[in-house]
Amino acid sequence: MVAIRLLLVDDEERFLATTKILLERRGASTLTAISGPEALKILDDEDIDVVILDVKMPEMDGVEILRRMKKKYPSVEVILLTGHASVESAVEGLKLGAFDYVMKPCDIDDMWAKVKEAYANKGASAVKSRKPTGNIIDKRITQTEKR
Amino acid sequence: MEAEKFKHTRRMILSRVLLVPFIIVMLVCGTLVYYFAANLSEHVSRELANTADGHRRLIEQFLKERAFDLELIADSRKIGAINHNDLVVILEQLQKGSPAFFDLGIFDEQGNHVAYVGPYNLQGKNYARTEWFKNAQNNKIYISDVFLGYRNIPHFVIVMRKKEGEHNWFLRATIDTLYFYDLVGNIRLGKTGEAYLVNKIGVLQTQRHSGGKPLEADSDFNFYKSDESAIMSFKSGSNTGSQYLYATGRLHEPEWLLVVRQDRNDAYAPLAYAVLFAVALIVGGGAIVMTMGFWLASSLAHRLSMAEVEKRQMGTQLIMAGKLAEVGEMSAGVAHEINNPLQIMKSEYSMIKDLLEDFESGKHPPDSKTFQLIEDSIEQMGIQIDRCKKITQGLLKFARKSETAMRVVDLRPFIQEVVGMIEHRAQLENIRVSTSFDDNLPELKTDPTQLQQALINLLNNALDALKGKEHGEVKIKISHESGYIIISVADNGCGIAPENLGKIFLPFFTTKPVGKGTGLGLSTSYGIIEDLGGQITVNSKLNEGTVFTVRLPLADAAQRVAGG
């Protein structure tokens, strides 16, 4: 299987470093970015399959970055990383086209499972526009909003 | 304290709202009662005077008529020629006119009782030396005072003198004493009212109900006043000590004084009752009004107290609600803050787990590199644990009421010391720091350690705001205004966005990247300044600069317990 190309975006240096190692051990090729602008730059330069994006970052709102990503690179899947306080942002993100979200602190295996799902989804509808489709997404949105 | 305030409010309502109108009403009532009483008492006096007037007229009329009766008889025949039988007839005639005629007699000018009709044996007696005979010489009609005479019974006479030819004849009639007493004394005037006659030397002429027989000296004579012709009304005393209301009137034929009097208490009894009743009503009514007033004032004051208590309770509740909201926000902040270290710790933990799995499965035996990784992870976990510790400590500090140690501080050296602490950093970052002091700054009583902490925080924030800016300047100004010391820290840095201005004092709020700011600096400073009895405010414009203004009271700021 071709290695999944990941981009990890978070404002915690150490988290990026450690998670990168953990993901690479599971077979992904991982790039990291410590800010939104940096992430967008990497997307310009590299081919990325899945982005793991922290929603609450200083300087640029995670949702804003997502919007731009989806606009410029509609084929890239995005998984949102969120602390409990930013659940609303996660829901907004899902509506804007994020594939799923993961609550912090997250389990690495949990994250990896979602990454694989996203990758699979990407393959299944490679050229279609990035409107949220599938029962899974709607179910997740309703679940989140209920909370 | 509550009870005091309640009493005070009640007293205020009573005195201002109720007492003044009440007093006015009482005054009005009092005045009315006074005038009523005065009027009534005058009325009583007048009534007595009127009675006396009428009575005097009655008596005068009676005497005049009797005298006239005699005159008629005398003028219509020759007195000298009247014999006994004629006299009987004449007396009968007279008595038909008035039963007051008791007996009748004729006297010659020597005073001999030449003819007599009546129950006594008086015919033939000589009266030349009697008082009445002497006086009768001078007047056509003469009415005598009461005297005993030959019959030895008090009586008085009316004498008619007629000149026939060369000689004087005298026709004399005695007035029935009992009849006369009854005429004079029979008036109804309360319980003690009486009327009687005295002559001009104070000898009673008629019987007096309260004690005194005719011909007795009137012991109260000295208490009388009288007028020539009018009825005189006055208050006076008596021998027995009783106070009387008098009305006197003089009679002229004869010179008697009619005295009508009534015991004062008796006279004024109805008035006294009326006034008493009125006063009782006023007092009773007044008491009721006062009671109602008191009750009303109490009730109002109570309501006000309740309202006050409620208001305070609501105030407290509001503060509580505010605090709960703050705590809620803070909890969210804390949760979020702690999430990051937890996140990192989780990944480190996963890392260590993965590596150990490799060791166990034999996929990757332990070597120095992997050991290093494990060591790194463990170290990182330690760092994150410390981070969590700092966060919870910061939270506790916010919640805890810190002890303040107040001291008198001379502001000039104090501020200069504080500035000295950040001077080095300012120099490094090419930021100019200037301080200006008002003249004659008073000393400030405060906690220098805490104030220092708060000010250093403000200064550091100012320096942070100027990062990367050219011609960065931090201006510190200390002034003094109406009981407050004002310290302002101004920078021309990046400013604060308007939407954030409301949040900057909230704990864990920061616009700095993670690890660079805890978000606790301003909230701690805020807490410190509040504790010191002051206020901290901010003014800012994006990309232009920010000013933080700290106001601290000079007067003893009561050590207010920080609300937590």
ipTM: 0.72
Q: Is B332 on the interface with A (CB under 8 A)?
A: yes
Structure-token pair, residue B434? 């200037």
Q: Which two tokens stand for residue B316?
A: 């407290």
Residue of B nearest to A58 (CA): B513
Inter-chain CB proximity B347 and A58 less than 8 Å: no
| pLDDT in the model for residue B563 | 36
Distances (CA, A) of B23 to A146, B17, B35, B294: 72, 11, 18, 15
The answer as to whether B126 is a domain residue is: yes
CA distance B150 to B128: 13
Between B129-138, B305-314, B393-402, the lowest mean confidence (pLDDT) is in: B393-402
pLDDT tens, residue by residue, B508-549: 788 887 666 667 788 888 888 888 889 999 999 999 999 999
What's the mean pLDDT in B203-222?
A: 85
CATH code for the part of the protein at A5-146: 3.40.50.2300
For the stretch B428-453, pLDDT in tens is: 788 899 999 998 888 888 888 888 88
Domain boundaries, chain A: 5-146
Instruction: Spell out which residues of chain B touch residue A86, defining contact as CB-CB under 8 Å.
Output: 336
Q: What is the 3-state secondary structure (H, E, C) of chain A?
A: CCCCEEEEECCCHHHHHHHHHHHHHCCCEEEEECCHHHHHHHHHHCCCCEEEEECCCCCCCHHHHHHHHHHHCCCCEEEEEECHHHHHHHHHHHHHCCCEEEECCCCHHHHHHHHHHHHHHHHHCCCCCCCCCHHHHHHHHHHHHHC
What's the domain count of chain B? 3
In the block, tokens 């100027």 appear at B466
Across A70-82, average pLDDT: 89
CB within 8 Å: A104 and B343:
yes
Residue B522 contacts residue B461 (beta carbons within 8 Å): yes
Residue B254, preceding peptide bond in cis (omega within 30° of 0): yes
Is residue B562 a part of any domain in this protein? Answer: no
Helix, coil or strand: residue B475: strand
| Bond into A105 cis (ω within 30) | yes
Q: Which residues pair with B169 in a beta bridge?
A: B162
pLDDT confidence of residue B511: 83
CB-CB neighbors (< 8 A) of A104 in chain B:
339-340, 342-343
Check whether residue B100 and residue B217 sit in a common domain. yes
Q: What is the pLDDT of residue A50?
A: 93
Measured N-to-C along each axis, helices B521-531 and B368-399 cross at an angle, to the nearest 10 degrees, of 30
Q: What is the mean pLDDT of residues B36-48?
A: 87
Could you tell me the CA-to-CA distances from B180 to B185, B209, B332, B346 in Å, in that order?
8, 14, 122, 140
Identify the band that residue B163 occupies on the pLDDT scale cut at 50, 70 and 90. Answer: confident
Q: What is the CA radius of gyration of chain A?
A: 14
Domain assignment of residue B564, yes or no: no
Where in the sequence is the domain holding B475, given as residue range(s)? Answer: 407-553
Q: What pairs with residue B262 in β-bridges?
A: B245
Mean pLDDT (whole number) for B110-130: 85
- What is the 3-class SS of B78-96, one letter each residue? CHHHCCHHHHHHHHHHHHH
* B423 contact partners, CB below 8 Å, separation of at least 6: B433
- Read off the CATH number of the domain in which B471 is found: 3.30.565.10
Q: How many CB atoms lie within 10 A of CB B294?
A: 14
- The C-alpha of B12 sits at a distance from chain A's nearest C-alpha, in angstroms, of 56
pLDDT one-digit tens code per residue, A27-66: 899 999 998 889 999 999 988 999 999 887 766 777 888 8
- Kindly identify which residue of chain A lies nearest to residue B351, measuring between CA atoms: A22
What number is the average pLDDT over the span B332-358?
83
B351 and A CB contact within 8 Å: yes
Same domain, B239 and B324: no
Yes or no, beta carbons of B514 and A106 under 8 Å apart: no
Does some domain include residue B560? no
Q: Are residues B224 and B314 in the same domain?
A: no
* Minimal C-alpha gap between B510 and chain A (Å): 9
Q: What is the pLDDT of residue B227?
A: 81
By the 8 A CB rule, do B348 and B381 touch?
Answer: yes
- B184 and B309 share a domain? no
- Is the pLDDT confidence value at A133 over 60? no
In chain B, the residue whose alpha carbon lies closest to the alpha carbon of A57 is B513
Q: Is the residue at B47 inside a domain?
A: yes
Asked if residue B432 and residue B352 are part of one domain, the reply reads no
B245 and B290 in a single domain? The answer is: no
B340 touches chain A (CB under 8 A): yes
The verdict on B293 and B334 lying in the same domain is yes
Angle at the Cα of B139 (from B138 to B145), degrees rounded to 5? 100
Verify that B71 and B183 share a domain, yes or no. yes
Instruction: Tell whether the model's pLDDT for residue A69 goes beyond 70.
Output: yes
CATH number at residue B100: 3.30.450.20
pLDDT of residue B557: 47
Burial of B71 (0-12, 13-18, 19+ CB in 10 A): middle
Contacts of B383 in chain A (CB under 8 A): 14
Residue in B330, B337, B350 to test binding to A, most A beta-carbons within 10 Å: B350
- Supply the Cα-derived Rg of chain B in whole angstroms: 61
At B559 the pLDDT is 41
- B130 & B256 share domain: yes
| Interface check B347 vs A, CB under 8 A | yes
Question: What is the arithmetic mean of pLDDT over B458-462?
Answer: 91
Pairing of strands B407-409, B444-446: antiparallel
Strand order in the sheet with B141-143: B113-117, B101-107, B167-175, B157-164, B141-143
When scoring B329, B330, B338, B340 by the number of chain A Cβ atoms within 10 A, the one with the most, hence best to mutate, is B340
Burial B300-317 (b: 16+ CB within 10 A, else e): bbeebbeeeeeeeeeeee
- Do the chains contact at B336 and A106, CB–CB below 8 Å? no
- Of A112, A62, A68, the C-alpha closest to A90 is A62
B321 and B204 in a common domain: no
3-state secondary structure (DSSP) of residue B168:
strand
Alpha helices in B257-367 (DSSP H): 264-267, 269-361
**Torsion sign over Cα B31, B34, B38, B40:** positive
